[in-house]
Each structure stands twice: as C-alpha cells, then as structure tokens.
C-alpha cells in the first residue's frame, strides 16, 4: 500500500515561490523544496506539523527559489542541501541576478549534495526520485513521489517555464516535459514552483504549449 505523504505549500519570497514541505507520516522525517524566503515561517510550519527536516532540495538555482537557503541551513544543523551540478553557476551568482531585478538576497551556502537524474532521496519511508528536467535552467529538476510531482519552473497550470533567461532552452524544456513528466499517470498531481496545482492528465490535454 502506498504511503500518503504529508504535503504543505507555503508562498515564500518576493515572487511568491511555492515552497513545499513533504513529510513521512510514520517517521516524521521531511524535506523542504524551494524555500524562496521567509525561513522563520517555514520553520514554524515544520514545528506545527511536528516534522523533522533532513533535506533541502532546490529544483534550480534561480534566486527566487533559493532565498531561504541561508536562513534554514544556519538554523538546522543536520540539514543537507541538494542541487543539480548544472545549476551551481546560478546559485553562486544569484545575488547578481536579484540585484538586476531590484531585490535583496542573502547568499546561499554551497550544496552539500549534487544530485543527478534518477537519484533517490529518502525521507523516512518516502522515496523521492529526481528527474533532470532542464530547459528553464540547465540543472532544473523535478521531484517525484507516487501520485505527486514537484516541477519547479518546468511545468505550470496551462503553461511552462520561461526560457528567455540565460541558460534557458525552449526545445530542451519541451523535450524534458514530454520525456520525463507526461509519461507519468494522468492523476499525478503537479505541484509547480508558482501558481496552483494541476494534474499531468489535464496538462496533457489542454496545455497550449504541449499540443
């Protein structure tokens, strides 16, 4: 029988990034995905859910998705930070990117773990599988657990991630979505980096970029 995860979404940072907390209901171990900021709010939510975070996973290195890294890593000694190696450049230069958009940013610490396509991260009894889904950025990833996929800025409700930023590639993004995401069951819930949830089946049928 599949274990039903605890999933909580928190809008964070100046661009309202969906930060996700994903927890194992039996062991209470959890992961944090894309903390855009508001580290105190994230920690308060974890405490309210009685969850123990063991990993922080950035779906990519853009400043709006990693703005809470520094605060969370400073306040949680056992937390491991995961990022795909192809986005290290963006994480290391996120302050410059934020300055360009007139936003403040606290530099992120270096990742403790560089992840690859197909890798698995365990949180208690939950098995989180990493899909490399480049196109919005070279090291963009999506994170799959049975029934759910966290797509960062790859796939949104009725849309896809922008590809006009440095390192973006439209054809690569469409290929990533088709080969890694649209092969999932129709009822898989899509948890995007911004905006509301959707499902793989809905996006396969009506997303104008995927017709």
Say yes or no to pLDDT of 1 above 80.
no
Our count of domains for the chain comes to 1
Mean pLDDT, residues 166-191 taken together? 98
Q: What is the pLDDT of residue 178?
A: 98
List pLDDT tens digits, range 79-136: 999 999 999 999 999 888 888 778 878 899 999 999 999 999 999 999 999 999 999 9
21 within domain boundaries: yes
Give the chain's count of helices (H) and strands (E): 7, 14
1 within domain boundaries: no
Given a contact cutoff of 8 angstroms between Cβ atoms, the answer to whether 137 and 89 are in contact is: no
Q: Which CATH number characterizes residue 197's domain? A: 3.60.15.10
Say yes or no to pLDDT of 47 above 90.
yes
H or E element at residue 71? helix 69-75
Mean pLDDT, residues 178-198 taken together? 98
The SS3 call for residue 131 is strand
Structure tokens at 167: 């390192």
Tell me the residue range of the domain where 20 lies.
6-210
Cα separation, 139 vs 180, whole angstroms: 14
Mean pLDDT, residues 48-69 taken together? 97
19 within domain boundaries: yes
The mean predicted confidence, pLDDT, of the chain is 95
188 within domain boundaries: yes
Q: What is the pLDDT of residue 141?
A: 98
Q: What is the pLDDT of residue 2?
A: 67
117 within domain boundaries: yes
76 within domain boundaries: yes
Say yes or no to pLDDT of 73 above 90.
yes
Mean pLDDT, residues 151-171 taken together? 97
127 within domain boundaries: yes
13 within domain boundaries: yes
Distance of CA 163 to the CA centre of its chain: 17
């Amino acid at each position: 029988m599949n274990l039903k995860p605890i999933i909580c979404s928190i809008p964070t940072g100046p661009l309202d990034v969906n930060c996700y907390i994903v927890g194992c209901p039996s062991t209470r171990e959890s992961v944090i995905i894309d903390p855009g900021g508001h580290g105190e709010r994230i920690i308060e939510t974890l405490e309210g859910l009685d969850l123990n975070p063991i990993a922080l996973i950035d779906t990519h290195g853009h400043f709006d998705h990693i703005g809470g890294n520094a605060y969370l890593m400073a306040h949680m000694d056992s937390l491991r930070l995961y990022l795909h190696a192809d986005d290290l450049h963006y994480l290391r230069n996120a302050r410059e990117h934020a300055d360009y958009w007139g936003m403040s940013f606290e530099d992120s610490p270096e990742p403790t773990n560089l992840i690859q396509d197909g890798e698995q991260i365990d949180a208690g009894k939950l098995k989180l599988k990493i899909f490399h889904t480049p196109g919005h950025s070279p090291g963009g990833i999506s994170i799959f657990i049975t029934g759910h996929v966290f797509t960062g800025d790859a796939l949104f409700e009725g849309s896809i991630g922008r590809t006009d930023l440095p390192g973006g590639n439209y054809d690569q993004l469409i290929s990533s979505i088709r080969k890694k995401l649209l092969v999932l069951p129709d009822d898989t819930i899509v948890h995007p980096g911004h905006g509301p949830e959707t499902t793989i089946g809905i996006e396969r049928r009506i997303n104008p970029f995927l017709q």
